[in-house]
Amino acid sequence: MNTTKRILAIQSSVCHGYVGNRAATFPLQLLGWDVDAIPTVELSNHAGYPIVKGRTLSAEQILDLYKGVSAANPSGYECLLTGYARGIGSVKAIMEIVRSVKSKNKKAFWVFDPVLGDNGRLYVEESIIPLYREMLPFADLITPNGFEAEILSGMRINSIDTAFKCVECLQQKYKVPRVVISSFVVEENGVEKLYCIGSSIYSKSFFVLIPVIPGIFRGTGDLFTALMAAHIAESPDCTESLASIKEDKLKKSVEMALSSVHEVIQKTADRISALGVEEYHPAYAELCIVNSQNSIIAPSKLFEAVYYY
């Protein structure tokens, strides 16, 4: 009997590079998951390149693909991962799929990365924001970055304390059981610091201070969310409902995921340095995922999260 868990990943897809499902699929497979991947957009590469070709899938096309993979996989999914979607129709299609997956398996765990933008800039149309807010109560875990958490909560993050107030707002207002703000920068005593914080209704809130690696690296959030999905339900023979995982599983998952992502970024930065190129090109900064298999499976050094209170 096959005990491998199966995950449905719905987000962007690129032919070249590592963002969206290209950043998620291989790491998930390395960690023991069978992955069915549905694209919301099909692009030649990410938007950081000077030329981008491709297309946006319509809501009908996304739903049609789901009908196909759903028929091919009658046993359903243990986990659902959703990320970037372009347009109201695509977002509504994703919510329809979420309902379908959960109707077939009430224990299915939904990891929702509400991709809206970063660094003060929206990647999507503003009309998607209220739809995402409506979707939040159905998620088991959300992984916004700091900018996205601000938009969804309506609160400003300018310190670690205000970041936790933002998380508290999301949990109380939208009844999200687990919130991880994947990254945000605040100034402390004149120094910019990078944090990741997490909170579960089942355990204490925590934070991780992340060493900064200079550079522009796309797809890190997609990789982080995929690793979170893998680690929070890592045991293939787990009999406990994935939707009721308690204790400090969230904290441990964040420690593992962050440590892996940091090592992948460091390997990527080292490769750029070794190339010795004078003129930057986004291809040089594509994440070294294939060459980081050991870091994905078992990072050499684990970050240790600290309880907030």
Which residue spans within the chain are E strands per DSSP?
5-14, 33-43, 54-56, 79-82, 109-112, 117-118, 121-122, 141-142, 178-188, 191-200, 206-210, 306-307
pLDDT of residue 184: 98
Residue bearing the bigger pLDDT, 278 or 84: 84
User: Can you give the pTM of this predicted structure?
Assistant: 0.94
Annotated binding site for ATP: 182-183, 209-221
Mean pLDDT, residues 3-8:
89
Annotated binding site: 12, 123, 182-183, 209-222
pLDDT of residue 255: 98
Would you state the structure tokens that stand for residue 78, as one six-digit string? 């243990």
Give the integer Cα–Cα distance in Å for 234 and 33.
9
> Is the Cα dihedral 217, 218, 221, 223 positive or negative?
negative
Angle (CA) 137-128-76 rounded to 5° is 50
Q: Where are the domains of the chain?
A: 5-236+245-307
- CATH architecture observed for domain 5-236+245-307: 3-Layer(aba) Sandwich (3.40)
Annotated binding site for substrate: 12, 123, 222
| pLDDT digit string, tens, across residues 220-242 | 999 999 999 999 976 433 434 55
Residue bearing the bigger pLDDT, 238 or 173: 173
| pLDDT digit string, tens, across residues 67-109 | 999 999 999 999 999 999 999 999 999 999 999 999 999 999 9
| pLDDT digit string, tens, across residues 11-55 | 999 999 999 999 999 999 999 999 999 999 999 999 999 999 999
